[in-house]
Amino acid sequence: MLRRILSENGRDYIGTYAFAITCLVAISMSTAFLAWILKDIVDEAFARQRADVIWWITAGIFAAFVVRGAATYGQAVALAQIGNNIVARYQRRLFSHLMELGVGYLGETRSAQLAARIGQNASGIRDVLNLTVTSLAKDLLTLVALVGVMFYQDWVLTLAVFLVGPPVVVALRYISKRLRAVTREAVLVNSRVYGVMQETMQGIAIVKAFTMEDQLRHKVDYLVSDAEARSNRIVRLTERTGPLTDSLAGLAVAGILAYAASQTINSNELPGALVSFIGALLFAYDPARRLAKLQVNMERAIVNARMIYEVLDIVPHQPDAPGAKAIEISGGEIRFEHVSFGYAETSPVLHDVSFVAEAGKTTALVGPSGAGKTTIVNLLPRFYDLPEGRILIDGQDIGKVTKHSLRAGIAYVSQHPYLFEGTIRDNIRYGRPDASDAEVEEAARLAFAHDFILEQPEGYETPIGEGGSTLSGGQRQRLSIARALIRNAPILLLDEATSALDTESEVLVQKALDEAMSGRTVLVIAHRLSTIARADRIVVMMRGKVTEQGTHAELAAMDGGIYARFLKLQALGLDGSEDLGLERKPAVSEVDNG
């Protein structure tokens, strides 16, 4: 993992890293210099009392601190800038990769987990690189330089100090192995906490309507307590190295001080060398302690980095076919030929489905829930690839064209419109990013949205609340239709865009839909008889199969047909139309007439 991170990022920051490493080397050398000069301070300035060298010694100490301070500032700023750029780079890269993945993966993965990886795990790449650079160029180099000073002053004592190393290494290996699993578990638990909180905020109306506050409070309390316990366990494991290293370091320093004192008393030698040795040993304690914790800290960073690469390494399941060309849509005829399909780990949803949606006409898909209507709509823009059968648009197999060109020729209006953060103008322009302001406003007029937009506080520049919460259902739907209109695509997919609206809103939205459907090939999932009756062709589906096809009049005249049977049940006032997914709403004229 470390090799991969360095190979992907090291070359791009080589100049800045070279500057940071130079600063770190300056810090290391100035620290070693301060330990080395202690001998001259004690022997020449205090023992021999040589006034001529005092000024040189003090000037050297001052210069060392100036260099150390400037170098510390330089390396901190350089590494911070690199780290921030790395986090931003991987967040962009991860988001871009998620956009390439199929709808199936994104539908199966909790959005909060992905948000946690984008926001939290990306820092793992930065930490791995920064820990590597600072450990090698600063801590390790400082330790080597100080050990060199210690060897120069007393090599016997230096070898004695190294006796404390093996116990520390053994303990750190044990702690690192345990920390790896705990860190991953903590990240996953935290993502669950974010997920519950996100779902609660998005569904707050349902939460309050069903008095779910206490249930969700208990659930969040449990998850937060679990996350807290795991975080505390990480801290206990990480900091467990402190007592060990401090105890062994204290033993070494105490022993050396006792030895130094006895040597000075018994031999009458000048203490400068021993003071320099002890100074180097004390200076070496901090870098040695950081290096001792390096493996522990690196494990935490590597876990976060590995979770980022788990997503980045997912190969998109829907690459364009070799040599795929852009689709050319003229009329927009849609043809399903013997299509069978099933989602992962589920039984097949579609069985040998064949039908034709004629160019420039409206084809309605009718059937109960689970009949496969939504699956058909999902297959047309290639959200999923076909294991069996073909889908043709103007005679071109959609599996052999580029996905981008295919989707550029399709507009979609959902039963539950989704609006994004930004202004009203931004949300309409998502249909075609290069659209001018005049084109945006014209699309809004055609969608019967212009008037209510002007009534908003800032007109087209009014920010939309999360998911369009500041707008009514009818207003959100008309903005969704405006977004489809400005796309000016030859094919329009509709998931019965009026079924969740009141009568007044439905009238306006239906007018907007009539504008959107004009001159386009329309495939509509229909539930209401008013929509179905206006369709040029009706495809009746049951249990993933096409059971009947024809116009409203043809299907209604079929004795014993499924469509005709449910029409008769409704005509008799029997509530059976919902078995076919049909719903009859009173026409406007019926409402007006009382």
The reply to whether 127 falls in a domain is yes
Structural domain contains residue 255: yes
Q: pTM for the whole thing? A: 0.66
Give the integer Cα–Cα distance in Å for 453 and 282.
Answer: 71
What single DSSP character describes residue 384? S
Give 580's DSSP letter.
Answer: G
User: Strand, coil or helix: what is 212?
Assistant: coil
Q: Please report whether residue 587 resides in a domain.
A: no
Contact (CB, 8 A) for 551 and 566: no
The pLDDT of residue 538: 93
Is 385 a member of any domain? no
524-563: per-residue pLDDT in tens? Answer: 987 777 778 888 999 999 989 999 999 988 988 888 788 8
Which amino acid is it at 272?
Answer: G
Contacts 24+ apart (CB under 8 A), 142-145: 142/27, 142/28, 142/31, 142/32, 142/283, 142/284, 142/287, 143/284, 143/287, 143/288, 143/291, 145/28, 145/29, 145/31, 145/32
Q: Any idea what DSSP says for residue 521?
A: E
d(CA 65, CA 55): 16
Q: What is the pLDDT along the chain (594 residues), one digit of tens a residue?
A: 888 888 888 788 888 888 998 998 898 888 888 888 877 777 776 666 677 677 788 888 889 889 989 998 998 899 888 888 888 888 888 888 887 777 767 666 666 667 766 766 777 788 888 888 887 778 888 888 888 888 887 777 777 667 666 666 666 667 766 776 677 777 777 777 777 777 777 677 677 776 778 888 888 888 888 888 887 887 777 777 667 666 776 777 677 777 766 766 666 665 667 777 777 777 777 787 777 777 777 777 887 788 888 888 887 777 788 888 999 998 899 999 999 998 866 678 899 999 999 999 999 998 888 888 989 998 999 888 888 899 999 999 999 999 889 999 999 888 778 888 889 999 999 989 899 999 999 999 888 889 899 999 999 999 987 677 778 888 888 898 899 889 888 999 988 766 656 666 677 777 777 777 888 899 998 777 777 888 899 999 998 999 999 998 898 888 878 888 877 776 665 555 555 666 555 444 433 333
Instruction: At 515, give phi and psi (nearest 5°).
Output: -65, -45
Instruction: State the Cα–Cα distance between residues 336 and 356, nearest whole angstrom.
Output: 6
Alpha-carbon distances, residue 555 vs 143, 527, 548, 549, 564 (angstroms): 87, 16, 8, 7, 6
Q: With left for phi above 0 and alpha for psi between -120 and 50, is residue 77 left, alpha or beta?
A: alpha
Other C-beta atoms closer than 10 Å to the C-beta of 65 total 12
Compute how many other C-beta atoms are within 10 angstroms of the C-beta atom of residue 463.
13
Whole-angstrom distance, CA of residue 371 vs CA of residue 378: 14
Neighbouring residues of 44: CB distance < 8 A, sequence distance ≥ 6? 50, 53, 57, 272
Q: Which two tokens stand for residue 578?
A: 């919902």
Inside any domain, residue 427: no
Residue whose pair of structure tokens reads 């927009």 in the numeric block: 332
Q: How many CA atoms lie within 13 A of 160 on its CB side?
A: 15
Q: How far is CA 594 from CA 220, 275, 571, in A?
A: 51, 104, 20
Rounded to 10°, the helix 14-40/122-134 angle is 40
Domain total for the chain?
1
The pLDDT assigned to 574 comes to 52
> Is 71:91 a contact under the CB 8 Å cutoff?
no
The CATH number assigned to the domain holding 115 equals 1.20.1560.10
Helix (H, G, I), strand (E, B) or coil at 335: strand
Q: Are 432 and 486 in contact (CB under 8 A)?
A: yes
Kindly report, residue by residue over 33-63, the tens digit of the pLDDT.
888 887 777 777 666 667 767 778 888 888 9
Backbone angles phi, psi at 341, to 5 degrees: -160, 145
Are the CB atoms for 46 and 162 separated by under 8 Å? no
- How far is 354 from 332, CA to CA, in rounded Å? 17
Q: Give SS3 for 268.
A: coil
In a domain? residue 67: yes
- In this structure, the number of other CB atoms found within 10 A of the CB of residue 575 comes to 8
For residue 195, tell me if it sits in a domain.
yes
- 217: which 2 tokens? 């409070």
From the list 537, 533, 534, the residue with the least C-alpha distance to 548 is 537
Question: What one-character DSSP code corresponds to residue 560?
Answer: T
For residue 285, being part of any structural domain is answered with yes
Q: Which domain holds residue 185?
A: 2-312
Count helices and strands (H / E) in the chain: 25, 12
Report the C-alpha gap between 320 and 291 in whole angstroms.
Answer: 48
Place of tokens 């974010």: 194
DSSP string covering 218-267? HHHHHHHHHHHHHHHHHHHHHHTHHHHHHHHHHHHHHHHHHHHHHHHHHH
